[in-house]
Structure 1
Amino acid sequence: MPPARETGAGAAAGVGDTVRVLRRRPPGSLWAEPDWWRYWLSRLVSYAGGTVTYVAAPILVYALSGSALLTGVTAATEGLPYLLFGLVAGALSDRVDRKRLMVSCDLVNGLVLLTVPVAAALGHLTVAHVIGAGFVSSTVFVFFDSANFGAVPTLVGRDRIPAANAAVWGTAQVFDVALPGLVGLSVAVVSPSSLYWVQAFTFLASAALIRAIRRSLSVERELTHRLRDDVLTGVRWLWSHPTLRAMTGVGTATSFALGGIVGQLVPFADQQLGIRQGDARLGAVFAAFSLGGLLGTGLRRFVAPYSPARISLVAMTSMSVLLLLLPWPHDWRLTVSVVFLFGVADIVAVMNVINFRQEETPEDMQGRVNTTGRMLSWGLGSPAGALLGGVVAGIHGSPAAVLAGAVVLAVATVLAWTSSLGRVPALRTELAGSG
């Protein structure tokens, strides 16, 4: 059964707008459209810069403080803004011009990140500054991401959402494979704070590219409700969809595990593997996760015959097993292998949820519904995993923190298989036949 939708004139207008927008999109190749190239390049440069600071931020905080707890807090602040501001950002992005909002967010983010290398050059950089800049940057990104969720279906059409997301994620993973190793080598020569110049520049470049997109990224919508009513409508719609509701729970659990890994990867490599800052093997550990993600994006056609529910369950099970194995090896090559396979399962799970949510959600509710789902997974799960990992690591060490996250994910996996997701047919054809 399809989920319950809004009733009344507002709902009818929203569905009508959705049909008109999606019908305008031609069924041809994305790569034949200049606006798609501009959008794709904007995402590419942003991901390149984000990868640099993704590696540099925990290294910088660990170098300044030597604290595994503060390193975990750094990772937590990246997801916490989604929990605090996700609902408002999602509703706002459905009410305003998405392109203008995305450009504004990129410009603000570029300026915020510039403060880190400037403070370092003046000799005033502190751990609080690094964490604070990360929190502000992540807060601004919440509003960008909310608009971006709605922009993609409007730009490419519903039928091409999986192809568009695979193109963006796949090419981003190429940078994720190459850049962590380079960053790991770079911090042996330059300060990690200097690398923040890179992401600041990429945000400014992204703003210019998005501004150059000629096609509108929004649909006209009559604002007949207050912002609070829009927020509640998005939450109710997501809750009314049984499959998406359960998959959101799965996403929250997997983000919890990933938050713990990201927050503890640098101290884990130090304590478990003897890999210090500036060691090329640290870059190899980060690159392994991204290389697995690159392979995972190429599995889109392989997993296409299976229902989204079954894809989520299998990916979650795989991550549980791999995460339980991660704390035991003392050989960095075994760790790299486990992290690589975890990266494969993680990207399959993430893309599966995002694709399904964008395909199912009405266009005029894309920002609210997708941001609500992201708020619970990334805004709640990831910071909670990072904070728990930091607390456990501060008492028992980083390997114990990773193991604690693995146990939580394993329990969540068992619960997921016994939930409504476990009763959904394995194949899409069976799912259609049972509808």
Structure 2
Amino acid sequence: MLTREFRKLWLGQAISAVGSSVTIIALPLTAALTLAATPEQMGILVAAGWLPYLLFALLAGAWSDRLPRKPILIATDLARAAVLVTIPFAAFAGVLRIEHVLAAAFVAGSMTVVFRSAYAPFIPVLVGRDALVEANAKLALTDSVARVVGPSLGGLLVQLITAPLAILVDALSFVVSAIAVASVRVRETPPPRAERRSIWIEIADGLRVMLANSFTRSVTVIGLLFNATITIGDAVFILYLTRGLGLDALLIGVVYMVGGIASVAGATLVQGTTARFGIGPSMVGSILLLTLAGLLLLAASGPPVVAAAYLAVRGAIVSFSAAVYNVTSNSIWQAAIPDRLLGRVSGASQVFGLGLIPISALAGGWLGAHVGLWNTIAISVGGQFLAFLYVAASPLRRIRTTGDLPALTGV
């Protein structure tokens, strides 16, 4: 059963998700349109936002297992607000540079790593393990609704007040989220200081548990393969839309909005889907749909409105599939791992699953400059088809319920 305290967190995250969905469009458009960024600079921008996962996720995960998580969530929300608000202020003053945007992306990304290390373990404290699927489905539904509202709002704001000023919405949303988290009444029981071991030993525990279990290992490898291949294309995605296909900010917002609507459907139907087909088959099927959707991105052509239609259908399939996969994998991850290990195991998974994104982003930017934007997208899509071969052979397809999960050893 979802508690009143969870609903407070849910409300704050809903508002924050809308703001972040605005920034998904506004930040790259700030670089591409306001600052005329090159493909290499766009790749560096993506890398700057994801590099903190490679650098800090292990430490952040182990650290969050030692401390109360609520203060971490509040502090990182406020820090992200303070960082992002510098972009519209600098733009208003006429001193915004690409270096400023890159630095802001890195610092905000670092705060997001710390936030996420505490956020996932905080949810079981509020709702209990028997309500995890429902809680994660509600959070995913909210995030999906934000993907409907945020991009369309972001596209409109970029058209009306420019991309840098639109980012102010996200900064304000983080302040609201911090206030919502501060209102949550919860009793956390971090381990006593006397029971702490070296943080490096605790990090090693997270790595060992993550690698020893076939389910957590498979999910991590899938994240590594698909995040790496998708990011090659994402690095030049906005440039491809604006310079290759001729879409303006409003059409881009509509494309993202359609994806958000499909994401709502995915989050709404995930419980029924997993009940009918089983957890593992649902996850494998969702990844197959996501992979096939890349073909629509390659096929997009013609007038901007026609190209946007291709992209909207592709976005709908990708967002629906991602919602099903993420809700299912997050819920089982939280159910399979003890609370005291969730932070460090999640941190280990983030390093492996997300650690190659900065390198892939730089590679995507380089490829975009040297082989062309469409060819870079094609390389990304081809890589996803190769990555799916691992998914098809993974042990995920045999897992129908949580009872089929292999036991964690040595915990």
Give the TM-score, by structure 2 length.
0.91
Shift of 1:311: 2.7
Which among 398, 401, 404 is matched to residue 428 of structure 1?
A: 401
Contact 2:21/2:154 (8 A) holds in 1: no
Match of 1:270 in 2: 242
Match of 1:34 in 2: 4
1:355 aligns with 2:331: yes
- Output the amino acid matched with 2:46: A
Larger mean Cα displacement after TM superposition, 235-244 or 201-210: 201-210
- Output the amino acid matched with 1:296: G
Contact 1:247/1:309 (8 A) holds in 2: no
Match of 2:225 in 1: 253
1:141 aligns with 2:117: no
Shift of 1:124: 1.2
- Output the amino acid matched with 1:158: R
1:34-433 pair list within 5 angstroms: 34-63=4-33, 64-221=35-192, 223-276=195-248, 278=249, 280-305=250-275, 306-330=277-301, 331-332=306-307, 333-380=309-356, 382-422=357-397, 424=398, 427-428=400-401, 431=404
Structure 1 CA distance for aligned equivalents of residues 191 and 37 of structure 2: 52
Please give the per-residue CA displacement for 1:197-241, whole angstroms capped at 9, x wherever unaligned: 212111112111111111124544553311111100011011111
Larger mean Cα displacement after TM superposition, 353-362 or 264-273: 264-273
Structure 1 CA distance for aligned equivalents of residues 17 and 224 of structure 2: 22
Structure 2 CA distance for aligned equivalents of residues 401 and 311 of structure 1: 30
- Output the amino acid matched with 2:121: G
Please give the per-residue CA displacement for 1:105-143, whole angstroms capped at 9, x wherever unaligned: 112111111211121122111011011101101101111
Contact 2:20/2:150 (8 A) holds in 1: no
Structure 1 unaligned regions, length at least 5? 1-27
Shift of 1:292: 2.2
Structure 2 CA distance for aligned equivalents of residues 234 and 251 of structure 1: 17
1:43 aligns to what SS in structure 2? Answer: helix
2:327 aligns to what SS in structure 1? Answer: helix
Match of 1:13 in 2: none
Please give the per-residue CA displacement for 1:141-160, whole angstroms capped at 9, x wherever unaligned: 11111011110011110111
Identity of aligned residues (%): 25
2:161 aligns to what SS in structure 1? Answer: coil
Larger mean Cα displacement after TM superposition, 280-289 or 47-56: 280-289
- Output the amino acid matched with 1:352: T
Contact 2:59/2:347 (8 A) holds in 1: no
Contact 1:98/1:218 (8 A) holds in 2: no
Larger mean Cα displacement after TM superposition, 123-132 or 202-211: 202-211
Please give the per-residue CA displacement for 1:144-202, whole angstroms capped at 9, x wherever unaligned: 11011110011110111111111111012112112212211221221211122212111
1:261–1:354 Cα change, 3 Å: farther
1:326 aligns to what SS in structure 2? Answer: helix
Please give the per-residue CA displacement for 1:328-367, whole angstroms capped at 9, x wherever unaligned: 2213212211121111112222222211111101010111
Please give the per-residue CA displacement for 1:283-314, whole angstroms capped at 9, x wherever unaligned: 11222222222121112122223444333322
Contact 2:299/2:310 (8 A) holds in 1: no
Structure 2 CA distance for aligned equivalents of residues 239 and 75 of structure 1: 28
Larger mean Cα displacement after TM superposition, 267-276 or 348-357: 267-276
Structure 1 CA distance for aligned equivalents of residues 239 and 173 of structure 2: 28
- Output the amino acid matched with 2:379: A
Shift of 1:432: 7.8
Structure 2 CA distance for aligned equivalents of residues 429 and 240 of structure 1: 17
Contact 2:68/2:188 (8 A) holds in 1: yes
Give the number of equivalent residue pairs.
400
1:236–1:335 Cα change, 3 Å: same
Match of 2:409 in 1: none
1:303–1:375 Cα change, 3 Å: farther
Structure 1 CA distance for aligned equivalents of residues 283 and 86 of structure 2: 40
